[in-house]
Amino acid sequence: MSPEENKAIVANYLEQAWGKGDWAVAEEVVADDVVFHDQIREGDLPAGREGMREAMRRISTGLPDFTMDVHELIAEGDFVVIRWSSTGTHNGFFNGFPATGRSVTLESISIVRLKDGRIVEGWQEADQFGAARQLGMLPKGNMPKPMAWLVVKGIRLKDRLSRRGRTA
């Protein structure tokens, strides 16, 4: 498929599946054995399309008024890059935290690879620290050095344990 066709597929998927919660569109566009290189792969979610479905369920539960705005769609070959933001009110349990009632805006960049008109692989980077600050889970401004040290040590420990097949 052409880059323009891939962009159209991804744009429709984002608008319908993520924007309107239409799971049928995701079923059509996302391959059963899709591989994600982000929170779905690294978290406690199942692999493949089932993990994406669970992520969608968690977002709609934790942020029931979730909206997504796509700012850029760039395509090259089988890849589509998306710069997007989402907003919502933290009115339900989400990412291990009870509802705060606060609004949050999350800035993200995603890359997806398509094959024969279906999403087969994806990467995502999101400003999770910014979201945590907006929800009152981290202090605003510069992080105190002892806290930054603990965060870095925790991440390194999690990485070492995951390489050994254990969880933190």
Residue 79 pLDDT > 80: yes
Task: Tell me what pLDDT residue 109 has.
Answer: 95
Q: 138 is written with which tokens?
A: 């981290």
Task: Tell me what pLDDT residue 47 has.
Answer: 81
pLDDT in tens, 124-146: 888 888 888 888 887 777 767 77
Residue 42 pLDDT > 70: no
* Side-chain-facing half-sphere of 81: CA atoms under 13 Å: 8
pLDDT tier for residue 105 given thresholds of 50, 70 and 90: very high
Q: 63 is written with which tokens?
A: 């942020």
* Distant-in-sequence, close-in-space partners of 106: CB < 8 Å, separation ≥ 6: 85, 86, 87, 126, 127, 128, 130, 131
3-state class (DSSP) for residue 24: helix
pLDDT tier for residue 71 given thresholds of 50, 70 and 90: very high
Task: Tell me what pLDDT residue 166 has.
Answer: 59
Give the global pTM.
Answer: 0.77
* Distant-in-sequence, close-in-space partners of 64: CB < 8 Å, separation ≥ 6: 88, 89, 91, 92
C-alpha 144/C-alpha 150 separation (Å) is 10
* Distant-in-sequence, close-in-space partners of 17: CB < 8 Å, separation ≥ 6: 23, 25, 26, 29, 56
Q: 126 is written with which tokens?
A: 């999101």
Residue 16 pLDDT > 60: yes
For 3-137, which CATH class? alpha beta
Burial 19-48 (b: 16+ CB within 10 A, else e): beeeeebbeebbeeebbbebebeeeebeeb
Q: Which has more pLDDT, 58 or 13?
A: 13
Helix (H) / strand (E) element for 113: namely strand 103-115
C-alpha 30/C-alpha 14 separation (Å) is 11
3-state class (DSSP) for residue 17: helix
Is residue 110 within 8 A of residue 84, CB to CB? The reply is yes
Residue 68 pLDDT > 70: yes
